[in-house]
Amino acid sequence: MFFRALSLLAITAGLAVTATAADWAQWRGQGRDGKSADTGLLQAWPKDGPKLLWTVQDVAKVGTGYGSPAVVGDRVYVHGGTAATNAKEFCTCLSTKDGSVVWKTTLETTEAQFKESWGSGPRDTPTVDGESLYVLGTAGDLYCLRTADGKTAWHKNLVRDFGGKVPEWGYSESVLIDGDKLICAPGGGKAPIVALNKKTGETVWKCEAPFDSSYSSAVVAEVGGVRQYVQQLMKDSRGGRKGTGGATVGVRASDGKLLWKVEDNSYMIAVIPTPVVAGDRVFVTSGYSAGCKLIKLAPDSNGGTTAEKVYASKNVTNHHGGVVLVGNHIYGHSDSSGGNWVCVDLATGDEVWTATNLKVKGSVTYADGMLYCYSEAGTLALVKATTDGWSETGRFDIPKTSPIRSKTQGKVWPHPVVANGRLYLRDYEYLYCYDIVQPSK
């Protein structure tokens, strides 16, 4: 049967939770790395895909939006909007048994001035931390809710309370909980990253640096005993197609000091993918021809961290579907060379293989030796995570795509979630739950 660990080391995930390792309590899973701890999963699918357990196709229950669900125990948490344009936001708790509503909380969200041609609704994945749940709305409304009943514990707004600036397509990051701190990026050009007390919402520190927010989410790294938060930022989140550049930064967890930065003038329009941390190495990628790079971190003589760029390459130019590190190799979609799914060597950036079998770009999640490649068109392919090439063992289309999401610009953007032997796929106001456990012999 699939993996059921009793606890997860908080230092690995950067999240102090009571969730099991087989849960999916935050953006990109427990380690914020796109990888599930589940084992005992199907290694191949029938022609029509795995068994569909339940479907929720209801704006009032799921809501509009592009974020993935969070799954802890027998509950699914979804952040959604009331409509395809000019949406008000709400958070819903659903039962993993059948998708029925456990509770629903309407959020007092601020009017957002951003491009809604791609569709209104939140972009974040809820972050679950024990008895608390955190969501960030498109206009910067940050809520702490009680997981038991959805009641509000506290509410802040990143613009009003921290001088932030709403990005061109709305706030899209998923907040990080690390110990007693909540980490988020209001932007605004003065204090791009802040730490808040997760219980009260009060400011712990502000990082003073000349950067703006982006669409990327922070992850934890630890180098030479120095705990830090790594994130990709823009110099101006409304820089337009001319671009103003950006940087990958490391911020000390204890006081918010900017420890290091690796600037990149090729960053433009939007920087979205989450950094991948592997010990003292950080792999980052971005779309719009920016490419990828590997950064080597090392402790310095003053108790800080130095950062050295090992390589820069166009072999992975990932728009927003993210990449996963399996062993010593990076897997995901790349816009370069016409758009392919790729495998590259982490240490060198060299291409190991490239494939066009799934002809549409998309997001990727890893579980039990397999890649779950979810295209923007709503097709999911199951592929072995191997350096031997694209080895597909099944694919299927979700039964129906959203009828209200923009057909010209909005796509199937939520990432796949694998938790407790189930696969969750979202498309805007639709949510599907599949059984992917290997049958007992």
pLDDT at 210: 86
The whole-number pLDDT of residue 14 equals 37
pLDDT for residue 238: 59
pLDDT given at position 7: 35
Single pTM value for the model: 0.94
- Over its length of 441 residues, how does the chain's per-residue pLDDT go in tens digits? 433 333 333 333 333 335 777 999 999 999 999 999 999 999 999 999 999 999 999 999 999 999 999 999 999 999 999 999 999 999 999 999 999 999 999 999 987 778 888 899 999 999 999 999 999 999 999 999 999 999 999 999 999 999 999 998 999 999 999 999 999 999 987 789 999 999 999 999 999 888 888 899 999 999 999 999 999 999 876 555 555 799 999 999 999 999 999 999 999 899 999 999 999 999 999 999 999 999 999 999 988 999 999 999 999 999 999 999 999 999 999 998 788 999 999 999 999 999 999 999 999 999 999 999 999 999 999 999 999 999 999 999 999 999 999 888 899 999 999 999 999 999 999 999 999 999 987
pLDDT of residue 242: 54
Amino acid at 361: K
What are the structural domains, with CATH classification, of the chain?
10-435 (2.140.10.10)
